[in-house]
């Protein structure tokens, strides 16, 4: 067990132990960061990926999910896919582990979401949704205290990242987050996180623009307090262009502060 010296007395440091479910872009960033936690167990449907990250982090790669979820960890970080959350989320909580969900889109299904929340409540466990590729989720939760009169997410991406051809800026989707999920399932994490924070549906406008090389999220909020405008212009991760660097940093930040007695911006 690691130790530290405070006022001449040696104290044991209890480190947060983590299981990593999904060893792709975000998994690499977590495994390569020296945090105040320890990756103990790793799982990926492509076993070689779990093995590769195990070599970096010192954890054990598992081929069987049941063995992975039974490993001695405090919390499991899902950085895999919506499907993985649906397949494994409940089991993680039933094994008395907290759950961090990156594939927030999985929680857009009300029945699944309620079931997951009920299991967490029964087992006295937490489900954490990191801020991911946006910011401001903290105070958008005031929407659950006083209803918001406007909540709009305007996202602009390069056509290549939306998988559509466009030679000039064009609106490719306008509607609610729940409708957006059906057409652009890989671009909904942010809108679902906003919706869950605010406790209401989110209006979404999705633009393809060949002149942008970053993912731009603009959030417009209006309510009894006044107005909020948030603009997040996301750079890709230095080593992983597919992942917004902010999303990866937000999970590192969550893990760093999860046990802190001082909670800022709650």
Ligand X SMILES: NC(=O)c1ccc[n+]([C@@H]2O[C@H](COP(=O)([O-])OP(=O)(O)OC[C@H]3O[C@@H](n4cnc5c(N)ncnc54)[C@H](O)[C@@H]3O)[C@@H](O)[C@H]2O)c1
Find out whether 96 and 123 touch, Cβ atoms under 8 Å: yes
190 lies in the binding site for ligand X (CB under 6 A): yes
Q: Please report, as residue ranges, which positions from 138 to 177 form the binding site for ligand X (by CB under 6 A).
A: none
User: Which residue in the list 11, 95, 217, 257 is annotated as catalytic?
Assistant: 217
Closest CB to ligand X among 25 and 195? 25
194 lies in the binding site for ligand X (CB under 6 A): no
Binder among 39, 79, 181, 206 for ligand X (CB under 6 A) = 79
Binder among 30, 31, 41, 44 for ligand X (CB under 6 A) = 44
132 lies in the binding site for ligand X (CB under 6 A): yes
22 lies in the binding site for ligand X (CB under 6 A): yes
77 lies in the binding site for ligand X (CB under 6 A): no
CB of 188 to ligand X, least distance (A): 9
Residues in the chain: 266
Binder among 83, 121, 174, 182 for ligand X (CB under 6 A) = 83
Q: Please report, as residue ranges, which positions from 205 to 244 form the binding site for ligand X (by CB under 6 A).
A: 242-244
Closest CB to ligand X among 63 and 149? 63
> Residue 252: CA atoms inside 13 Å, Cβ hemisphere, count?
15
d(CA 253, CA 241): 20
- Would residue 257 show up in a list of annotated catalytic residues for this protein? no
69 lies in the binding site for ligand X (CB under 6 A): no
Closest CB to ligand X among 84 and 255? 84
d(CA 137, CA 193): 8
Question: What region does 58 belong to: left with phi over 0, alpha with psi -120 to 50, or beta?
Answer: left
Applying CB under 6 A, what is the total number of residues that bind ligand X?
27
Candidate segments 3-11, 32-40, 43-51, 112-120, binder of ligand X by CB under 6 A: 43-51
For ligand X, the binding residues (CB under 6 A) are 22-27, 44-46, 49, 79-81, 83-84, 87, 102-104, 132-133, 189-190, 242-244, 247
What are the residue numbers of the active site?
A: 217
């Amino acid at each position: 067990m690691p130790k530290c010296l405070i006022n001449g007395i040696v104290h044991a440091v209890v480190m947060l132990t983590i299981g990593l479910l999904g060893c792709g872009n975000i998994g690499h960033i977590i495994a390569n960061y020296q945090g105040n936690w320890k990756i103990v167990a790793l799982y990926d449907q492509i076993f070689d990926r779990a093995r590769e990250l195990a070599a970096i982090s010192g954890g054990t790669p598992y081929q069987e999910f049941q063995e992975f979820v039974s490993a001695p960890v405090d919390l499991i970080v899902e950085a895999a896919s919506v499907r993985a959350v649906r397949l494994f989320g409940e089991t993680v909580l039933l094994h008395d582990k907290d759950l961090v969900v990156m594939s927030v889109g999985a929680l857009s299904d009300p029945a699944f979401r309620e079931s997951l929340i009920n299991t967490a409540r029964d087992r006295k466990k937490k489900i954490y949704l990191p801020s991911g590729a946006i910011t401001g989720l903290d105070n958008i939760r005031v929407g659950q205290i006083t209803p918001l009169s406007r909540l709009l997410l305007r996202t602009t991406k390069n056509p290549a990242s939306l998988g559509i051809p466009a030679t000039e800026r064009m609106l490719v989707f306008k509607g609610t987050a729940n409708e957006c999920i059906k057409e652009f399932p890989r671009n909904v994490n942010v809108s679902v996180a906003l919706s869950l924070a605010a406790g209401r549906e989110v209006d979404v406008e999705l633009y393809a623009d060949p002149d942008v090389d970053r993912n731009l999220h603009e959030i417009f909020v209006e309510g009894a307090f006044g107005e909020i405008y948030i603009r997040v212009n996301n750079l890709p991760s230095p080593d992983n262009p597919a992942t917004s660097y902010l999303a990866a940093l937000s999970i590192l930040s969550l893990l760093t502060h999860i046990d802190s007695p001082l909670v800022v911006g709650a």
